[in-house]
Structure 1
Amino acid sequence: MAKEYDGRRLRLGAEVYTTSTQRQYEVTYRGGGLTISGRIAIPEGKGPFPAIVLAHGYIDPAYYVNGQGMTREREWFANNGYIALHVDYRNHAGSDDTALAERGVGEADMRMGYTEDVVNAVLALRAWDGPVDDDRMAVGGRSMGGGVVYNVLVAQPGLVDAGVVWAPVSSDAVDNYDRWIGSDPTRSDIVAALRRSHGLPKDDPEFWEGISARTYFDQISEPVLIHHGTLDDTCPIRWSRETARLMERDGVDVTLTEYPGEGHAFGPQFFASMERTGRFLARHVR
């Protein structure tokens, strides 16, 4: 919340995908002293176009490739008249590595760095001289990226016009720690780094409350749309039900849409979720 952000210098790289309705390019931009890579989808036409910045879910950075994780969403948005900027995050693809990642504990900042990268992506897109409408912008994220979107909305209220998440992680940092870090013996290095730097949840609950988006839901000024499948065995739907309840309590304009029988990846009902997203953004990104 207290940081100053300087996202800038969005540059198009190689053209990687072309259809009759859109073109996609590799991109880089600068922010927070880092170069971050990504991929952008631009509709055919004159513009200016509304835009959405996309935050992908967890993929091991050792295997991640540029633009991976939200390919369907990126193409759908460009086909429907939105510029879609997919952020690779630091330590992914062509982005700069950070010191923590070089020591093998890149998740010890609880992915707050990814939040910074998405905020800077919005600013870089807004400063770009391409066909983007600076006044019509949203953020969207899947799974881990949904948590990044929550962080962006609470840390920088007013930055965008709306937020959309699919199958998001919990808005409580302790839930996410317990689910993917504390219970995983292969991540003992991250546990040790967190213990040294901050203390574990049982040792310093105040710190963990302080890095949980739900602590600051009363800061959110944008409408939020949450998509979640009832059979999600990666991010249980109870997390989104509790997030929506707490957002409503704090006065957020939030809509939770549940998809009976749908799992984490949104297979059969993916396009239904996108159509709802399109209607939601048509109301709020204008």
Structure 2
Amino acid sequence: MLTRESCSTYFRHVIPMAFFVFVTSLSCVGHAQVARMEVIPFHSSTLTDEEFLDGRPGKPITIAGELRLPRPGTERFPVVVLLHGTAGITSTVTDWEQDLLAMGVATFVVDSYTGRGFVSTINDMSTLGRLVQIGDAYRALEALQKHPRIDPERVMLMGLSWGGHAALYASLKRFQRMRGPASGREFSAYVAFYPPCNIGYLQDEDISAKPVRIFHGSADDYVPVVACREYVNRLRVNGKDIELTEYPGAYHGFDSKAFATPLKLQQAQTTGNCRLQEAAHGEIVNVATNKPFSYHDSCVGHGLTLAYNQEVSARVRTAVKELLPARERAKTGPD
């Protein structure tokens, strides 16, 4: 089990070697001031996608998140819960953490890997269920809604890549009923960056009434945007508050300065060409073969381009800032 002490020593220092040079080369100049930092362990579960979808409990696990507050005092802050992608916590996450703090909101970076013994799943996504992070997000919300410096009504969920998949589908009411906080509270908004949208879940048109926003690049060769277009169009026909903002020519990681020089990861595993569907008892089926999906299926490929786009990065940060709960609603002290 993780303790506060053990979490604080290694929480964010284990990253994939493919990204090491980019992370360590970033300047610390211009980072937002942090008034307080806390490493907060919380309980979650490790389970397969089938177990998640079929309502089974999985294996209890303690993981951790890192809470940062932008100002001292007794003010209760809005907070953004950040979910990482298959590469784990890289500078893409920490760049967002710094920018959000500079916008005056707290951040809570969830580490879904270290407590489970993972560094990265980027080359083999079969090692951990893709829905695990949804459960982590709900448990993080439970932990944060008890914190004296956090406003429980102003907790926004934001995820990157596979973390974006979790942020997007955490909006499903079915998943909220199955796995959500006992309090019945939910996130104030669901923000997904370049998420895979190529899995059809049962009742996936029944989503939260809170805003759901997707930001994607048209040149993404890791998780192509076309499936997100189709999903968003399907939900908008039914009047749901979901929007896709697509940036022409933008690649995966368009918001990360670490990839100012584009990087090609030849071994990165991708299911972007697969079309998958949930069947009975939580089974995920390959639509093309009508058989249970496997990472050995012919639709599974390899290769990923990561490329920063300065103009798009600036625009998307403006868009995220507009989604943040208004600071003037801040509360002071406990209710």
Q: Structure 2: which 5+ runs fail to align?
A: 13-27, 46-59, 119-123, 178-184, 255-307, 330-335
| Contact 1:143/1:169, CA 8 A, preserved across alignment | yes
| Contact 1:10/1:30, CA 8 A, preserved across alignment | no
Quote the RMSD (CA, aligned, Å): 3.3
CA–CA distance in 1 between the matches of 2:69 and 2:126? 32
Matches within 5 A, 1:110-259: 110-129=129-148, 131-154=149-172, 155-156=175-176, 159-170=186-197, 172-173=198-199, 209=200, 212=201, 215-259=203-247
Structure (1 or 2) with the greater helix fraction: 1
CA–CA distance in 1 between the matches of 2:176 and 2:79? 17
Residue by residue, what CA displacement relative to the aligned partner does 1:168-188 show, whole Å, maximum 9, x if unpaired? Answer: 111x32xxxxxxxxxxxxxxx
CA separation of 1:255 and 1:36: change in aligned 2, threshold 3 A: same
CA–CA distance in 2 between the matches of 1:221 and 1:97? 36
CA–CA distance in 2 between the matches of 1:167 and 1:125? 26
Partner of 1:48: 76
Q: Structure 1: which 5+ runs fail to align?
A: 1-8, 99-104, 174-208
Cα offset for 1:167? Answer: 0.9
CA–CA distance in 1 between the matches of 2:191 and 2:69? 19
**Deviates further, 133-142 or 24-33:** 24-33
Partner of 1:270: 313
CA–CA distance in 1 between the matches of 2:228 and 2:86? 18
Amino acid at match of 1:218: D
Residue by residue, what CA displacement relative to the aligned partner does 1:179-238 show, whole Å, maximum 9, x if unpaired? Answer: xxxxxxxxxxxxxxxxxxxxxxxxxxxxxx5xx27x422232211111111211111121
CA separation of 1:245 and 1:252: change in aligned 2, threshold 3 A: same
Q: Give yes or no for the alignment of 1:21 onto 2:36.
A: no
| Identity level (%) | 24
Amino acid at match of 1:113: V
SS of equivalent residue, structure 2 residue 170: helix
CA–CA distance in 2 between the matches of 1:224 and 1:123? 20
Cα offset for 1:83? Answer: 1.3
Amino acid at match of 1:84: T
- Structure 1 runs of 4+ off > 3 angstroms? 9-20, 23-27, 66-69, 105-110, 282-286
Cα offset for 1:10? Answer: 10
Match of 1:279 among 284, 308, 322: 322
Structure 1 length as normaliser, TM-score?
0.68
CA–CA distance in 1 between the matches of 2:3 and 2:143? 6
Residue by residue, what CA displacement relative to the aligned partner does 1:238-285 show, whole Å, maximum 9, x if unpaired? Answer: 122112112212332112112122111112221210111111224799
Cα offset for 1:97? Answer: 5.1
CA–CA distance in 2 between the matches of 1:37 and 1:250? 37
CA–CA distance in 2 between the matches of 1:284 and 1:247? 30
Cα offset for 1:41? Answer: 2.4
Cα offset for 1:144? Answer: 0.7
Residue by residue, what CA displacement relative to the aligned partner does 1:132-154 show, whole Å, maximum 9, x if unpaired? Answer: 11111110111111111122111
- Greater gyration radius: 2
| Contact 2:44/2:63, CA 8 A, preserved across alignment | yes
